[in-house]
Amino acid sequence: MIYSRKRAYCVVKRMAEEKIIETTGLNNCGGRCLLRAHVRHGKIVKMSTQSAEERALINLAACPKGLKCHETFLGSDRILYPMIRVGERGEGRFRRASWQEAIDIIAKEWVRIRDAYGVGSRYVNYATGMCGVINGPGLARRLLALDGGYLGRYNSYSSACMTKATELMMGTPYSGNSLESWLESKLIILWGHNPADSRFDCATMDYLQKARDKGIPIVVVDPRRSPTVEKLGAEWIPIRPATDAAMLDAMAYVIYTEGLHNQKFLDKCCIGFDSEHMPEGIDGSESYLSYLLGENDACPKTPRWAAEICGVSAETIISLARRYATAKPAALIQGLGAQRHSYGEQGVRGGILLACMTGNVGVWGGWSCGNAFVRSHENPTFPKVENPFSMSIAAYTWTQAVVNGHEMTSLDGVEGGDKLPSDVKMIINLGGNCLINQHGDINRTAEILKDTSKCEFILCSDLFMTASAKFADVLLPAVSPLEQDNIAMPWQYGDFLGYAKKIVEPMGESRFEYDWLCEVAEKLGYGEAFSQGKSSEDWLRYIYDDLRTRERELPEYEEFSKGGIFCYKNNKRFIAFEKECSDIENHPFNTPSGKIEIFSNKVYINNYKDFFPAIPRYVEPIEGYSDALREKWPLQLIGFHTMRRGHSIHDNNPSLEAIEPRRIWINPKDAECRGISQGDMVKVFNDRGEIILSAYVTEDIMEGVTAMSQGAWYAPDKNGCDRGGNINVLTSLRPTPYARGNGQHTNLVEVILAAEKQ
């Protein structure tokens, strides 16, 4: 009795000591959610998020990743001090070093490589582990720019094809309406889009649920029956990976031949649809219509033609085309899954074409397709220092630049100059796992990086000993999003700004990138120019106050920096291309012709190394369904993003594993003929590598297709077979033809029972 009374007293006292601090996420997940850290005695005991009532006003609710992030970020496997490589590169053997020694080595290598190979040999890798306004990669670029420059990067791993294709046709990636627009649609098609898992923000699913509740039909086109299909009670149209452009062509065929198209819009706002509307000097036979009707190749792009390729029946294609063209307005919304493919550009262009043909551009309730970025408020930015070195490469081609950068030209996607002067000799990789885990063809990439005569110096900072961190020459311990103050920006949509609040003190000797880069800058003689005498907190206030001069609704910094999310109240209703579509004479599109470019002269006159057509149209990809390679590697393999992780983040948190365990999705028909049963350990392999993991036999994936979630930590056994379930063991380094993007979802593999089970 006495004991329990004492206990009760203790609980009350502890409760009283609990402090709740609001913050938000900084990782590369579109969901910038509201997180509440419950702190007792300086330790986070729990994370919570919005209550149901709060959610009803505006949804900023965290998913399991957010609610468990303290377990991941403050785990016992954190890197706690600077380390210097002692073994072979990639082996993962390091010795402990002081910060002073690490900074001395960095400064020495920095200067040595600059003097030996020139400023263009220095490259900051794509790294999105921490996306705050002050972030490692941005700061590293700032310091390199002060020191003469660096090889720049364009594109992302997220949306390379999407962005390049949207810009090519419409001149901007800002092709979205405000999300409320969906509630006025008569039909919504989610194409390669799984917002129930792949969060672009916290609100998308809310709007889609509202649309469904209003009775608006929702269709999902995806090789997998994704959680979005389930959550929205949507109609699922399974499609073979990387064949979207064929289905879109056939839909265009139905819409045109049945006279359901909006000729007026095509004539007024587009160029290249038919022979009467071609750019000057281009023959009418090059038009999209000529291709569609098969005038040159005697192959009209009928639903029957497409059905053979994409595996969707001709009846389904005809029905969807009619429904989309007659719904008025209708929203065909593209995710990023269908564009992370070889020829990923073409599906994006096909979607934009259909939006044009049906007059859904510039219309409330319609949707222009493409990136569909919407930004009604300005994002804060760290003041930039211009890069004195003009050239840049596409994000996915850095391995090529390590191997033979000096041979790379504009045909390989080099921008800002004709030919790179040098190979990449130094890589700075801060808060990124794209050196290995998230890049393509891990075995080949590891081979490239192991050779210290190629890339001579690799600098990493991370929280954990990741596959990429193991390849560092100098590895620095970073602070997690719970140990730093930073400003978090919206991802694709969102009228808000977040303040990630420091909740606990940094673990071990870990430091924020800004702090140690100031010391490197000091050593290089750019101390004052780099920091301008400001601490990172000073910069946050400076950046915020500057933004506040334009975004007047923002509260005082003192209020904002208490942490959490500030939501704007005055938000513009936004319709992309409203002005262009109603008055194109005075408001031309930002393209060379001033119109939406169905035919692109820019592409036509360019001598692209790989074939890339001037019009949107299906092109058979290497390692696609129709490739002869399928005789050897019969199954298509796609990756997908999941709630279990934000890319590679949280893989080391077992409490999230049940959400999407490491497994390969396989159709019962494909499993049966291989003698594979539910849960069997199987080997998935191709010429590039092999993985052993368990089989998930499910009707939720199309026959002939397999799928694995991306982001699992690469964990090779002694034979080099990955046991971690990392799909990038099987993906290729081949860039897409125009965007030079990452076609990481286009792969052919075979699956067999693993030896241990045979």
Ligand X SMILES: Nc1nc2c(c(=O)[nH]1)N[C@H]1C(S)=C(S)[C@@H](COP(=O)(O)OP(=O)(O)OC[C@H]3O[C@@H](n4cnc5c(=O)[nH]c(N)nc54)[C@H](O)[C@@H]3O)O[C@H]1N2
**Interface contacts to ligand X, rule CB under 6 A:** 26-30, 127-130, 136, 157-158, 191-194, 197-199, 221-224, 226, 239, 241-242, 244, 335-338, 340-341, 430-434, 438, 461-464, 466, 478, 480-481, 638-643, 645-649, 710, 727-728, 731, 744-745
Nearer to ligand X, 24 or 262 (CB): 24
Strand 486-488 to 474-477 pairing: unpaired
Question: Which candidate, 441, 507, 430, 425, places its Cα nearest to that of 469?
Answer: 430
Nearer to ligand X, 481 or 494 (CB): 481
- The residues that bridge with 218 in the sheet, in sequence order, are 188
Q: How far is the CB of 494 from ligand X (least distance, A)?
A: 13
Among ligand X, Mo ion, none, partner that 127 touches (CB below 5 to 8 angstroms by kind)? ligand X
Among ligand X, Mo ion, none, partner that 340 touches (CB below 5 to 8 angstroms by kind)? ligand X
Among ligand X, Mo ion, none, partner that 223 touches (CB below 5 to 8 angstroms by kind)? ligand X
* CA distances to 183, 361, 423, 424, 532 from 150, in Å: 46, 40, 12, 10, 21
Nearer to ligand X, 362 or 741 (CB): 741
Nearer to Mo ion, 136 or 704 (CB): 136
- 204, amino acid identity: T
Among Mo ion, ligand X, none, partner that 432 touches (CB below 5 to 8 angstroms by kind)? ligand X
Round to whole Å and give the CA distance between 528 and 707.
Answer: 51
Round to whole Å and give the CA distance between 157 and 401.
Answer: 17
Nearer to Mo ion, 371 or 600 (CB): 371
| Window contacting Mo ion (CB under 5 A); options: 152-160, 197-205, 521-529, 608-616 | 152-160
| Window contacting Mo ion (CB under 5 A); options: 153-161, 295-303, 508-516, 670-678 | 153-161
| Window contacting Mo ion (CB under 5 A); options: 114-122, 156-164, 223-231, 651-659 | 156-164
Among Mo ion, ligand X, none, partner that 540 touches (CB below 5 to 8 angstroms by kind)? none
Round to whole Å and give the CA distance between 84 and 649.
Answer: 24
What 3-state DSSP class applies to 571?
coil
What 3-state DSSP class applies to 110?
helix
Q: How far is the CB of 195 from ligand X (least distance, A)?
A: 8
Among Mo ion, ligand X, none, partner that 639 touches (CB below 5 to 8 angstroms by kind)? ligand X
Segment holding 22, helix H or strand E: strand 19-24
Nearer to Mo ion, 290 or 744 (CB): 744
- 155, amino acid identity: N
Question: Which candidate, 690, 756, 746, places its Cα nearest to that of 722?
Answer: 690
Told to check if 163 binds Mo ion by CB under 5 A, we report no
Nearer to ligand X, 147 or 660 (CB): 660
Among ligand X, Mo ion, none, partner that 511 touches (CB below 5 to 8 angstroms by kind)? none
- Phi/psi for 32 (5° steps) reads -95, 90
Question: Which candidate, 695, 700, 703, places its Cα nearest to that of 669?
Answer: 703
Nearer to Mo ion, 301 or 647 (CB): 647
Q: Specify whether the CB–CB gap between 337 and 158 falls below 8 A.
A: no
Question: Which candidate, 49, 45, 46, places its Cα nearest to that of 63?
Answer: 49
Question: Which candidate, 362, 160, 155, 370, places its Cα nearest to that of 248?
Answer: 370
Residues within window 105-144 making contact with Mo ion, judged by CB under 5 A: none
Nearer to ligand X, 599 or 665 (CB): 665
Q: How far is the CB of 640 from ligand X (least distance, A)?
A: 4
Among Mo ion, ligand X, none, partner that 66 touches (CB below 5 to 8 angstroms by kind)? none
Nearer to ligand X, 252 or 430 (CB): 430
The residues, any chain, with a CB within 8 Å of residue 531's CB and separated by 6 or more, are: 518, 521
DSSP class of 505: P
What is the chain's alpha carbon radius of gyration, rounded to the nearest angstrom?
26
Q: How far is the CB of 271 from Mo ion (least distance, A)?
A: 32
Q: How far is the CB of 120 from ligand X (least distance, A)?
A: 23
Residues within window 720-739 making contact with Mo ion, judged by CB under 5 A: none
Nearer to ligand X, 589 or 640 (CB): 640
Nearer to ligand X, 342 or 531 (CB): 342
Q: How far is the CB of 388 from ligand X (least distance, A)?
A: 26
Torsion sign over Cα 67, 70, 76, 79 = positive
- The residues that bridge with 153 in the sheet, in sequence order, are 393
Q: How far is the CB of 702 from ligand X (least distance, A)?
A: 10
Q: How far is the CB of 324 from ligand X (least distance, A)?
A: 15
Strand segments, DSSP code E, in 310-452 are: 330-334, 392-394, 426-430
- Helices H, strands E: what count in the chain? 24, 26
Q: How far is the CB of 675 from ligand X (least distance, A)?
A: 26
Among Mo ion, ligand X, none, partner that 27 touches (CB below 5 to 8 angstroms by kind)? ligand X
Strand segments, DSSP code E, in 503-656 are: 564-567, 596-597, 635-640
Round to whole Å and give the CA distance between 163 and 373.
Answer: 10
DSSP codes joined into one string, 302-328: -HHHHHHHH---HHHHHHHHHHHHHHS
Q: How far is the CB of 337 from Mo ion (least distance, A)?
A: 11
* CA distances to 335, 585, 600 from 272, in Å: 26, 18, 8
Q: Which of 24, 59, 125, 158 binds Mo ion (CB under 5 A)?
A: 158
Cβ atoms within 10 Å, residue 673: 9
Residues in binding contact with Mo ion, number by CB under 5 A: 1
Nearer to ligand X, 242 or 554 (CB): 242
Among ligand X, Mo ion, none, partner that 341 touches (CB below 5 to 8 angstroms by kind)? ligand X
Q: How far is the CB of 280 from ligand X (least distance, A)?
A: 36
Q: How far is the CB of 158 from Mo ion (least distance, A)?
A: 3
- Phi/psi for 352 (5° steps) reads -65, -40
Nearest-CB residue to Mo ion?
158
Question: Which candidate, 692, 726, 662, 663, places its Cα nearest to that of 445?
Answer: 726
Q: Specify whether the CB–CB gap between 93 and 86 falls below 8 A.
A: yes
Q: How far is the CB of 160 from ligand X (least distance, A)?
A: 9
Q: How far is the CB of 222 from Mo ion (least distance, A)?
A: 18
Round to whole Å and give the CA distance between 357 and 125.
Answer: 40
Among ligand X, Mo ion, none, partner that 731 touches (CB below 5 to 8 angstroms by kind)? ligand X
Nearer to Mo ion, 158 or 185 (CB): 158
Q: Which residues bind Mo ion (CB under 5 A)?
A: 158
